[in-house]
Amino acid sequence: MCGRYASSRRPDDLVEEFEVVENRVEKPLEPDFNVAPTKDVYAVVERPPSRDADQPPARQLRTLRWGLVPSWAKDPSIGSRMINARMETVAEKPSFRRAFAKRRCLLPADGYFEWYESAATTKAGKPRKQPFFIRPQDHGTLAMAGLYEIWRDPTRDDDDPARFRWTCTVITTDAEDDLGRIHDRMPLMVEPDRWGPWLDPTTPSETLLDLLVPAAPGRLEAYPVSTAVGNVRNNGPELIEPLPLEESLL
């Protein structure tokens, strides 16, 4: 799964890198080195200018909440359990199939965290887990494949600007060999030359899965980091600093 990641890029940098036409971020997010479910995150989407406009979709940068709430959900709390969508079932699972067909996004990240069961044990005899940070070798931006939904809050009035909740999820797949030692799942990446068809809501559904591939072997690096990342209240660039081997649980 992908349950934590880091996102420190500024909106202006993401607008340039992802060739965004409309920046819809009203209040920039602070750099976040411990992004957890239910937090607000940046997402790149393509949306029509308006419902009635006869114009092609425009690429936008928006702020979404991590944890997808399906449009048919009665209770938005379901989003906390919908942070990941498995590639193997995303096109058929009721919670995701409508978003997969029409509402796809890119979730920019510096990298993501996974936990490895070490040889060390707790007082209760259970394996202690060592967190790893996984990022591109060139320290570039990861464009994680995601889906988004727009949930209408029935308790709010029609003129309430907060009546719509925009949420998202990360699509995952089997981890490639080098990273599979740490965790068996990893987020799917979208290569720059595939951003257009992935985001385009008119792309035929039967071709979508062909656009998604795991990161090429050797493209990502993984290294142990402080166990402080396990507490969501901790935040700062020190969370992604490599941990000296003698201080890790390995």
Active-site residue set: 2, 114
Say if residues 29 and 64 touch (Cβ distance below 8 Å).
Answer: no
Output DSSP code: residue 78.
Answer: G
Q: What is the rounded distance in angstroms from the CA atom of residue 191 to the CA atom of residue 137?
A: 15
What gap in Å lies between CA 100 and CA 145, rounded to an integer? 11
Q: What is the DSSP string of 166-219?
A: EEEEEEEEEPPHHHHTT-SEEE-B--GGGHHHHH-TTS-HHHHGGG-BPPPTTS
- Three-state SS letters, 99-130: HHHHCEEEEEECEEEEEEEEEEECCCCCEEEE
Q: Which residue from 178, 182, 173, 172 is spatially nearest to 225, judged by alpha carbons?
A: 182
